[in-house]
Amino acid sequence: MIIDVHTHLCDYDSVAKPFWDGWAELAALRVNRPLEKVQRRLPEFWDISGDMMVKDMDAAGIDKSVLLAIDWGLARGLGEPKLSIEVINKVYADAVEKYPQRLIAFAGIDPRRNKAAELVDRFLKEYGMKGIKFHTAAGFYPNDKACYPIYEKALEYEVPVLLHTGEVLKPFHFKYCQPIYAQEVAMDFPDLPIILAHTGGCWYSEAVAICNNTTNVYLDLSVWQPRLLRPLEFYRALRTLLDSVSWQRVLFGSDYPFLKLLINQERWVKAFTEIPDVVKEQGIEFTDEEIAGIMGGNAAKILGLTG
């Protein structure tokens, strides 16, 4: 089974316009294209029904995707999107209702919101959401005690928590996203599965160290797609990661739809399921057990999908 543990539903109404302006500006610089051209392609990302995602999952052979609701409304310089946080979470829940066999949703909430824990309780109970996502770049640390009642809710409902770690584009401050702040959470909630998104991003070593010294921390591979542009380096990095933390801690993810124009879902999945012979010839090898675990076996256990 192939499970993508890190995806989003996006449009102008659920993620405020300044984010998209910043995204387009940076993307244009990175790929050396005119800004207007990149902006014109933005609507290709927009789908809050799940239709586009499921179509792309079908093409790639992905069985299930975890949708992570985003709450950036309190972030300085961004502002609230058109939709309220209740509605955004409901949009995610509705997509799951439309595709119950294919989609799973995590509630997204900023713990500084009024009655955040009560809202989370509602999202988990009434909307049937199966995890919690904190995007700390909005301006809080994951070990802030305001987060703790929400971690308690995750324990009560036996669902995992996914924390953004690593860099984020402007206007966010990514000091909040350093994995070290998650270490205290992992210590205080040893029974709570905690996924560090992007394997810590620019703080890779820190994320690996935390994973290695705890029993409840996992790492997702979303946003590793650009590494594929240099395939041997990608496979070497993946091998090093598996040798560092063991394959049971590593989860396939994409951060869909943000990188689909660079490396689509089909190509990203094939990077793991159809490893080119030249990689093996270089002495970089992966077992079937490792690939099966990364691609879905590990996530199925954390998500309680294994009967």
- Is the separation of the CB atoms in 169 and 22 below 8 Å? yes
How far is Cα 223 from Cα 225, in angstroms, rounded to an integer? 5
Contacts of 294 by beta carbon, 8 Å cutoff, 6+ apart: 221, 242, 247, 250, 251, 252, 272
Crossing angle for the helix pair 51-60 and 265-273, nearest 10 degrees? 30
Q: How far apart are the first and last CA of the chain?
A: 14
- Decide whether 169 or 300 has the Cβ nearer to Zn ion: 169
Crossing angle for the helix pair 204-212 and 231-245, nearest 10 degrees? 30
- Decide whether 4 or 255 has the Cβ nearer to Zn ion: 255
Least Å from the CB of residue 167 to Zn ion: 12
Number of amino acids touching Zn ion (CB under 5 A): 1
- Tokens 């994951």: give the residue: 142
- Decide whether 194 or 279 has the Cβ nearer to Zn ion: 194
Least Å from the CB of residue 158 to Zn ion: 23
- Decide whether 159 or 195 has the Cβ nearer to Zn ion: 195
- Is the separation of the CB atoms in 81 and 14 below 8 Å? yes
**Residue 71 interacting with Zn ion (CB under 5 A):** no
Least Å from the CB of residue 239 to Zn ion: 25
> What residue is closest to Zn ion based on CB?
255
- Decide whether 255 or 290 has the Cβ nearer to Zn ion: 255
- Of the candidates 103, 132, 136, 138, the one whose C-alpha atom is nearest the C-alpha of residue 119 is 132
Least Å from the CB of residue 133 to Zn ion: 8
Least Å from the CB of residue 303 to Zn ion: 17
Residues 126-155 that bind Zn ion (CB under 5 A): none
How far is Cα 148 from Cα 136, in angstroms, rounded to an integer? 14
- Decide whether 110 or 255 has the Cβ nearer to Zn ion: 255
Residues 235-294 that bind Zn ion (CB under 5 A): 255
- Is the separation of the CB atoms in 131 and 108 below 8 Å? no
Least Å from the CB of residue 50 to Zn ion: 16
Least Å from the CB of residue 65 to Zn ion: 12
- Decide whether 223 or 279 has the Cβ nearer to Zn ion: 223
How far is Cα 255 from Cα 45, in angstroms, rounded to an integer? 12
- Is the separation of the CB atoms in 186 and 194 below 8 Å? yes
Binding stretches for Zn ion (CB under 5 A): 255
